[in-house]
Structure 1
Amino acid sequence: MEVPQMAIKQIEEGLHQSDDRLEFATFGMGCFWGPEARFGGMPGVLQTRVGFAGGREPAPTYRKMGDHTETVQIEFDPSVISYEEILREFWGHHYPNRDNYKGRQYISLLHYHTEQQHKTIGLIRKEMEAKLEEPIETEISPFTGFTRAEERHQKYYLKRYPKALEQLAKIYPERELLEDSTFAARLNGFVKGFGTKDSVRKEITQWNIGEAEKAYLIELFLKLKW
């Protein structure tokens, strides 16, 4: 299986052609490993990363989080997946009013990046409160910053498969290139159960990249050793 020339550049440039329309969403819904996989498996989500947000203490780390919260940040194409859909997924897959036994580490948190997102949060919150039949206590505030978590936490579930990582290193020789790729986001979701071989394969055929790159990614995906 031959690697297409300039594969990474062509793949990522193709997927990010609409950079001027892309948006960010930043939220906390408990331990950040699972939510990164869940949203990473969703078409329209181009990048995922985990880190810390919501606090004032500088330079948080996993061992010294201070007043920050475990947080997921995603970059998404609103022409494929809307912010409304993201919010429904957010509130539909964690309980926002549970007691937190580790300070602020696992609280339900939403940071909006624009005033339009703020308005949308208000509307979807009312919708989800009606479903829950109780007020939602998610902490909602404007985005003020995000500190990326240590390397071992990024794409946590994918990294449990060292043989697959060795194969992926052929086109992603630098770990950060892999972690920030759309392909890795889908793989991280796939191994956690968010998606099937058929759904991932079909989605890749719809990506805005060259046919050679599509064929290569699909072949590589089907040959990964889990």
Structure 2
Amino acid sequence: MGFQQMVMRSIEEGIHQNDQRLELATFGMGCFWGPEARFGSMPGVVRTCVGFTGGTTPTPTYRQMGDHTETVHISFDPRVISYEAILREFWQNHYPNRDNYKGRQYISLVHYHTEQQRKTIENIRKEMETQLREPIETEIAPFGEFTLAEERHQKYYLKRYPKALEQLAELFPEKELLTDSTFAARLNGFVKGYGTKDSVREDIAQWRIGTVEKKWLTDLFLKLKW
């Protein structure tokens, strides 16, 4: 294992060392590439990945999705960002009542992971209905099975920058490490246009890692070639 890879692994482990405090959120809001980038850019969101939920078709894939829905699955730190804030981001950034021209693939869907989340969803939905001045048709359902989408769909926008990926390859030699990475989630959001260099730097400055690690990661971010 190279030195830089060891440093990055130490940073990610430091970020995730209190994973038991993290909470989950799962949404369907159209094609899952954009939502993963959007949520991945938000301070307090620790992990993002995309996949399929809600259907009965066994082992769904992107080409054989059956009755499943494209969803983004998020781990977040409630000490930094609230579930209410994430829900508002969800409803404010897609139209929940559009025609579902591809069956269930692109429906508006929110899965709740706890009874408290279900209550919060109902409260925020009423708030959003007042703003929209129409009923919200988002499907609300308990979280069940989540099938991870193929690797090419994870951090989709980041993977459109081969020069940056080449630089990151030493840090994330295994593809699942990139999928699980908080740093990669921020980069994926950044290249999609969610945030600026300054906002990413400010976010890293708040991460629960050492000062030396923060500087190393910030320098790495600024040196990436796109």
TM range (shorter): over 0.9
Q: Which residue of 2 aligns with 1:172?
A: 172
CA distance in 1, matches of 2:94, 2:54: 18
Runs in 1 of length 4+ with deviation above 6 angstroms?
Answer: none
The residue that corresponds to 1:111 in the other structure is 111
Judge which range, 4-13 or 139-148, deviates more.
Answer: 4-13
Task: Give the corresponding residue for 1:183.
Answer: 183
Moved more, 138-147 or 168-177: 168-177
Q: Determine helix, strand or coil for the equivalent of 2:24.
A: strand
Match of 2:200 in 1: 200
- Normalising by structure 2, we get a TM-score of 0.96
Give unpaired runs (5+ residues) of structure 2.
none
2: CA distance, partners of 1:194 / 1:55: 31
Equivalent residue, structure 1, for 2:13? 13
Give the letter aligned to residue 91 of structure 1: W
1:144-174 per-residue CA deviation (whole Å, 9 max, x = no partner) reads 1100000110000000001100111122111
Displacement, 1:4? Answer: 5.0
Quick one: distance in 1 between partners of 2:208 and 2:163?
28
How many residues get paired?
Answer: 225
Structure 1 contact 47–74 (Cα < 8 Å) conserved:
yes
Letter in 2 for 1:149: A
Q: Structure 1 stretch 195-204 or stretch 28-37: which is displaced more?
A: 195-204
Give 1:90's aligned residue. 90
Partner of 1:210: 210
Amino acid aligned to 2:161: Y
- What is the percentage of aligned positions where both structures have the same residue? 76
Q: Distance in 1 between matches of 2:54 and 2:220?
A: 38
- Are 1:49 and 2:55 counterparts? no
Q: Secondary structure at the match of 1:6?
A: helix
Aligned to 2:101: 101
After superposition, the Cα gap between the structure-2 partners of 1:207 and 1:83, relative to the gap in structure 1 and judged at 3 Å, is same
User: 1:122 maps to which residue?
Assistant: 122
Aligned to 1:29: 29
> In 2, distance between residues paired with 1:115 and 1:8?
36
Preserved contact between residue 53 and residue 68 of structure 2 (Cα < 8 Å) = yes
Displacement of 1:50: 0.4
TM-score, normalised relative to structure 1: 0.96
Q: Deviations over 1:12-43 (max 9, x none)?
A: 22112322220010110000000000000000
Distance 2:33 2:5 in 1: 33
- Does the CA contact (< 8 Å) of 1:26 and 1:111 recur in 2? yes
Runs of at least 5 residues in structure 1 that lack an aligned partner in the other structure: none
CA distance in 2, matches of 1:78, 1:30: 25
RMSD: 1.3
